[in-house]
Amino acid sequence: MQNTSTNSKKVSESKVVFTYGVMPTDLNTGGTLYGPRLFEIADHSSGTCAIRHTRGRVATISCDSLSFLKPINQGDFLTATTFISGIGNTSVEVFTKFTKEAPMTGETELAAFCFLTFKCKGTEPGKIPAIIGESLEEKKIIEGYEGRRQINKIRQQNNKDLKEILK
């Protein structure tokens, strides 16, 4: 459920844009960007975004989804564009879109995207500022938060049940 606080912020107030040149040490044995390296970038930029939005401490509590769409190659410029995509009672959902750019031609392609959730530590429940999308893309992604949240609740219950089995 979107927080009902009258306090709100525009996406641009906490958005993070990070560009990185993919190096040989970032590659897997197939010669493309190693998946955990992409996750590391997502977690770092998402955490920065969450802190900017809340101006408080946060902790990653879940990677709700990470979709790989195109291989990312050595030498590509990888841009992570990260913004708050949903506000819970004590947490924020953060979206990261990864585009790859061929450095010699400037051609860009969507390479991956993900949603991470962060617990807002020390924030009073219901007091996280609401988020206001500015572009059509931001608005559409923010509008989808409630549906993703319901899916995450099911996943969390399944994980709780699995945890009992794994003891």
- With a cut of 80, say whether residue 134 has pLDDT above it: yes
Task: Give the tens place of pLDDT for each residue, 111-132.
Answer: 999 999 999 998 889 999 999 9
User: What pLDDT, on a 0 to 100 scale, did the predictor assign at position 4?
Assistant: 46
Q: Fold for domain 9-166?
A: Thiol Ester Dehydrase; Chain A (3.10.129)
Region 66-70 average pLDDT:
98
> The pTM is what?
0.92
Domain ranges of the chain: 9-166
Instruction: Produce one character per residue of 12-51: b if its CB has 16 or more CB atoms within 10 Å, e if not.
Output: eebbbebebebeeebbeeeebbbeebbbebbbebbbbbbb
54 contacts 8 by C-beta, under 8 angstroms: no
4 contacts 129 by C-beta, under 8 angstroms: no
Region 17-32 average pLDDT:
97
User: What pLDDT, on a 0 to 100 scale, did the predictor assign at position 6?
Assistant: 56
Task: Give the tens place of pLDDT for each residue, 70-86.
Answer: 999 999 999 999 999 99
